[in-house]
Amino acid sequence: MDNTTKTAVFANGCFWCTEAVFSMLKGVTSVLPGYTGGKTENPNYHAIRDHAEAIEIKYDPSVISYDDLLSVFFNTHDPTTLNRQGNDVGTQYRSGIFYVDLEQKEKAEKLVEELNETKAYDKPVVTEVQPLIKFYPGEEYHREYYKNNKNQPYCQLVIAPKLAHLQERFGKLIK
């Protein structure tokens, strides 16, 4: 990682979906699925325990801002459902922003507060905002899952529509 690259870590449902979404953005140099937000050492897909499925994004802030990443984050999942995204249910599917510095913390907290104050959603935003303590990379077979499995029903029924929405809503940010 060079000095121009920054890191953002988000949990917003299935990491297959979120990796596919953020991989499409200009300025994003890598997206790694994994686990964070819990205390259990070395979680994995079958023993995620108290962690959330998350993605670690490396990005060039001269091309895409953290504010843009936050906007995509909040517009590509339901931040009002506790421990759930669509049919994926469990604490591993919770909505969370794991900040790496004070600036990210302040921006995330301010945006959550604004979304709730303006009633941007029908229900309150339940997205957690907490410091990134440790990110555990996911297993190799989860990486680039959508790219490698586009014909799988989950990819066609869940991920592809999410990417179409992204294209419509954030076309200017797409590679």
The count of C-alpha atoms lying within 13 angstroms of the C-alpha of 32, restricted to the half-sphere facing its C-beta, is 15
CA-to-CA dists, residue 125 to 95, 109, 165, angstroms: 9, 11, 20
Strands 128-131 and 95-99: parallel
Enzyme catalytic residues: 14
Distance CA 156, CA 100 (A): 33
3-state secondary structure string across 44-101: ECCECCCCEEEEEEEECCCCCCHHHHHHHHHHCCCCCCCCEECCEECHHHCEEEEECC
Residues 33 and 55 sit within 8 Å (Cβ to Cβ): yes
Neighbours of 40 (CB within 10 A): 13
